[in-house]
Structure 1
Amino acid sequence: MFDRTAGSHVVELLKQWNIEHIYGMPGDSINELMEELRKVDIRFIQIRHEETGALAASAYSKLTGRIGVCLSIAGPGAIHLQNGLYDAKKDKTPVLAIVGQVTSSSVGTDTFQELQLESMFEDVSVYNRRAQNAEQLPDMLNQAVRAAYAEKGPAVLVVSDDLFSTKIKREKEMTSPEYSVPHIRAAEEDLNEALELLEAAEKPVILAGKGAQGASGEVLAFSEKLKAPVIASLPAKGLIPDDHPNNLGQLGQLGTEPAEQAMKHADLVILAGTAYPYREYLPEQAQAIQIDIDPRVIGKYYPATVGAVGELGPALAWLTSKLGEQDPAFLEQYQEKRSAWHDKLRADIDKQTDVLQPQQVLGEVQRIMERDAVVSLDVGSITIWTAKYLQLTGQKLVLSSWLGTMGCGLPGAIAAKLAYPERQAIAIVGDGGFSMGMQDFVTAVKYKLPMIIVIFNNQKLQLIEDEQKMAGNKPTNVELANIDFAAFAIACGGEGYTVKTRTDLQEALSKAKASNQPVVIDAYVEDISAVL
């Protein structure tokens, strides 16, 4: 393996890691890597802002479990990555950022666009290194990807561009492009202690988190055997079908009344793959079983009577097999409350109003949403409306959960369409969130990524207004200047529709569903609160 550039080894290893596409923007400190990427069949998605690339890489990883990859130049491009990388860190998903740097002979001279990138990325990353010479590059890439998978977070590899074009002799490989997924089983003694609490409980409630991914069948079987209602954290929405009679919905500000009531009256809480942080929505005093693959979160936000460290599916399957018959009275009580709550939601959706309301728009989205669709949800009042009114029964949901960054809806939809080209991709966004990164709608057009973007346009930061009111303050600076989003979509080469009535909305959604282009539906909605 003589007379090959370090960059050629890097792109070969990227392929061996099964990386199919990279988000980025070319520039003067990554041009040599771009030359190597040009020669291989890794798809380069040219975004218009590096933040979009990092958010899309994070969303891709959340959706697929595979590492997402983004690329930036030194200086300003590297800075732009930070928001998306923090999203990946907070939501514990593997992302690789390859970041250019000034030429190796100029590092440390305070030259144009030089920043201390290792210091800048230290907090956000699980791996953060700068290659000192070209010979290190292949092995450092393997280390970075493996660390991202193992520690579920962003790995940052900083490389001066001249190193990519340097020819190296790689006679002895130190590392390999392999990651072995650990399979962790909870200790039987912990499960036996949990079983004792389950057998004694009269009002058990299951709070399932994103740890239920890949274990939704075990969660439901456990719920049915225990005769316990299930509440799903927002990141777990869709993992537990919303139409299951035991599913009470979400908890907290964006939750349902039955979920809140059941949790308040619970005598045992089973935290199933979640470190739910909002203590005020959990019982004042109740015993708790917490099952999680990460020992650091056991008892982190709620005192765990029993903690079991391991994968959720096998742990719940063991408990289900050991449980005896349970009293269904508590579950049946809340199934009735759930039914009444869903009747109320349906009445809200079906009611006739002069101005479109958010829940009515979601009702129409529900009608055209396909069973295996991917829904990318932005942050703001739209998050609360969607959590309450959109029913997911097999669809995938992607959002910025712990960081809660606005502007994640469009990057998520781009990632969804690249991850699952044959599936319907729907972005549900507010006018504030969409306008934070709307320039990359043209990216969806350029790469022919059909998607439906529904903008809830009330010319306001509604949730911020609500927060200001709840703090006892007079709302200030929450009004947004209006944008003709439909005209913008058309100007980018996509389709755009402005809707102000239910009939207009139905027609636009029907056209969008049949289209092979990215579509923006600018839905004017009444500025009513989702929480007050």
Structure 2
Amino acid sequence: MTDSVGDYVLRRLREWGVEEVFAYPGDGINGIIVAFGKADDRPRFVQSRHEEMSAFEAVGYAKFSGRVGVCMATSGPGAIHLLNGLYDAKLDHVPVVAIVGQTERSAMGGSYQQEVDLQALFKDVASDYLVEVNVAEQLPNAIDRAFRTALTRRAPTAIIIPSDLQTEDYSPPAHAFKQVPSSGPGLKPPMLLPSQPEIVRAAEVLNAGQRVAVLVGQGARGAAVEVEQVADVLGAGVAKALLGKDVLSDELPFVTGSIGLLGTRPSYELMRDCDTLLIVGSNFPYSQFLPEFGQARAVQIDLDGTLIGMRYPTEVNLVGDARATLQALLPMLSGPTDRAWREKIEKNVAGWWNTMKREAMVDAEPVNPMRIVWELSERLPSNAIVTSDSGSAANWYARHLRIRGEVRSSLSGTLATMGAAVPYAIGAKFAHPDRPAIAITGDGAMQMNGMAELLTIARYAERWTDRRLVVCVLHNNDLNQVTWELRAMGGAPKFEESQVLPDVSYADFARGLGLEAITVRSPDELGPAWDRVLSAGRPAVLDVHCDPEVPPIPPHATFEQAESMLAAVLKGDPEAFHLVRQGVKTKLQEALPGRHR
């Protein structure tokens, strides 16, 4: 029996090793849906509650597997819904292939129902590779190039297939004029290495430094051992961009933690006081958190030459694989004999973690949100995967979650979109069904889309060998990050009409779906609740009522930010007294490091 175009699409996906397609059905992809029905669950059709979630799940899958994530949607509205997740992939450099339907070719240009100019729609988000397939003979080349481009350029790509073509018989391209064949699936990117003279120049710059700082991003993930060795030789401290949070363990005494607005005081001081900077696999965008321009000599290593030298005036730029480049660099390095800089860094890091514990234990009404993540860190399985949403949850994730063992973690880094934590965790579970996953999300993101995706979790949990997927909701009935931005950056009081969320029991909702569910209303309940959900053996929701007035103020907050927040209070913020009290109690833990409260 002759394969249809839809059959061939799935066959080619299987040849590329695709095991899951995160999707939502619609008549624009009916021909491919029919093929799924005949494909014996190879690849699996993973049905989300919304196409945007399909895209996020594909991004989460790709981030935690290192393979291409695949999402699929119908024409018109379905294709439009994919965009936010695909932009998340684009901005965080994640390989994702989107397959979308289109109206029948005979109706194109006729203002037909659900007809949207998909090439114009995807032109930016899939700028690395976008193709509309109009005859079957295009398919091998179109699918293969989409995958190879996604992997090579770490970017989303898109394939548009009109609905009527999907049901036609498949015929391969011929060895003929104006037909384009394709080789079989597969791609092993080359191990790029900079030239030897440039590596020598980089070593000279780094060896001349007395106070070396290293900044790592997600591009250093495969070079963790080499980064640690370089830091030891140079007596350096290592700060982590948020997307590189899981590159190195926070149990290493010279790892200063996250950098930037959500970062730590040791990372801030590391950059403030260094005389030499090594950037490995990071495109961290906030140059104000790097050394003052001209203060430090700098070397940067990145696989993508177009992203080098963008954030800081680097003296030597090494375009190459992080691991291979560091391995070539290591034999040439000789650090300072005076280890005072390294000793100072380690002292600052140890003091910081003590301060973070004290801040987490500060009383709040009813639960301090910092303590939620701190208590998780104390119990975090060594092979867990942790996802965080944007908003104030990202503050506590960035500063309080201690990475160790084989823990992996991520969030929507550059797009910083709401609503990614839960679908990321679902994608992670399909990438690693034998590992526990924990999503940390605010109630704003939970109401936006997380509650609906609990249905997806309940539906597919039986497919995972380790069924633990814990969704922890920071329940404060406030769009908290924006509230604090209004206060600290705009000098405006909280505007309740825009900021206050309707109250709902996330635990009750989860319980109705058959999930484990716990409501926490006091700090003493928090540790036992984490123990229970992490040992439940099934998906769970931890609904923690926490204080919205615990300030997500960075430890290096500027005078202008403090002045703006005071102005907001004086203008009649509805929670003025409480927020000042919580802010003072929290910041005292930094000002008085020897005190418990």
| TM-score, normalisation: structure 2 | 0.87
In structure 1, the residue matched to 2:23 is 24
Percent of pairs identical after alignment? Answer: 33
Unpaired segments of 5 or more residues in structure 1? none
Q: Deviation at 1:139?
A: 2.4
* AA at the equivalent of 1:391: R
Q: Deviation at 1:39?
A: 2.0
In structure 2, the residue matched to 1:489 is 510
Correspondence for 1:403 among 407, 415, 425: 415
Unpaired segments of 5 or more residues in structure 2? 175-180, 462-466, 555-597
* Partners of 1:266 and 1:510 in 2: CA distance: 41
In structure 1, the residue matched to 2:483 is 465
Secondary structure of 2:540's aligned partner:
strand
Correspondence for 1:164 among 163, 166, 172: 166
Alignment CA distance shift 1:175-1:108 (3 Å): farther
| TM-score, normalisation: structure 1 | 0.97
| The 10-residue stretch of structure 1 (340-349 or 207-216) with the greater mean CA deviation from structure 2 | 340-349
* AA at the equivalent of 1:198: L
Residue 339 (str. 1) matches residue 339 (str. 2): no
* Partners of 1:319 and 1:135 in 2: CA distance: 48
Correspondence for 2:377 among 357, 366, 388: 366
In structure 1, the residue matched to 2:245 is 237
**1:261-280: CA deviation from partner (whole Å, max 9, x where unpaired):** 12111111111111221111
Secondary structure of 1:168's aligned partner:
coil
Correspondence for 2:212 among 193, 198, 204: 204
**1:66-87: CA deviation from partner (whole Å, max 9, x where unpaired):** 0000110001111100000000
* Partners of 2:256 and 2:170 in 1: CA distance: 59
**1:183-216: CA deviation from partner (whole Å, max 9, x where unpaired):** 1001111111111111211111001111111110
In structure 1, the residue matched to 2:52 is 51
Alignment CA distance shift 1:163-1:198 (3 Å): same
Correspondence for 2:446 among 414, 427, 434: 434
Secondary structure of 2:28's aligned partner:
coil
Contact 1:226–1:320 (CA under 8 A) maintained in structure 2? no
Secondary structure of 1:170's aligned partner:
coil
Residue 269 (str. 1) matches residue 287 (str. 2): no
In structure 2, the residue matched to 1:447 is 460
Q: Deviation at 1:349?
A: 3.0
Contact 1:241–1:392 (CA under 8 A) maintained in structure 2? yes
Contact 1:463–1:529 (CA under 8 A) maintained in structure 2? no
| The 10-residue stretch of structure 1 (179-188 or 304-313) with the greater mean CA deviation from structure 2 | 179-188
* Partners of 2:56 and 2:481 in 1: CA distance: 22
* Partners of 1:336 and 1:456 in 2: CA distance: 32
* Partners of 1:354 and 1:263 in 2: CA distance: 35
* AA at the equivalent of 2:318: A
Correspondence for 2:332 among 313, 322, 332: 322
Q: Deviation at 1:171?
A: 6.5
* Partners of 2:18 and 2:475 in 1: CA distance: 37
Q: Deviation at 1:9?
A: 1.5
* Partners of 1:334 and 1:514 in 2: CA distance: 37
Contact 2:138–2:173 (CA under 8 A) maintained in structure 1? no
* Partners of 2:453 and 2:18 in 1: CA distance: 22
* Partners of 1:241 and 1:66 in 2: CA distance: 23
Counterparts of 1:113-512 in structure 2, within 5 Å, are 113-125=114-126, 126-170=128-172, 172=174, 173-284=181-292, 285=294, 286-326=296-336, 327-351=338-362, 355-394=366-405, 395-438=407-450, 439-448=452-461, 450-470=468-488, 471-476=490-495, 477-512=498-533
* Partners of 2:391 and 2:431 in 1: CA distance: 25
**1:453-475: CA deviation from partner (whole Å, max 9, x where unpaired):** 11111111111111111222232
In structure 1, the residue matched to 2:538 is 517
* AA at the equivalent of 2:38: K
| The 10-residue stretch of structure 1 (148-157 or 342-351) with the greater mean CA deviation from structure 2 | 342-351
Correspondence for 1:530 among 552, 560, 563: 552
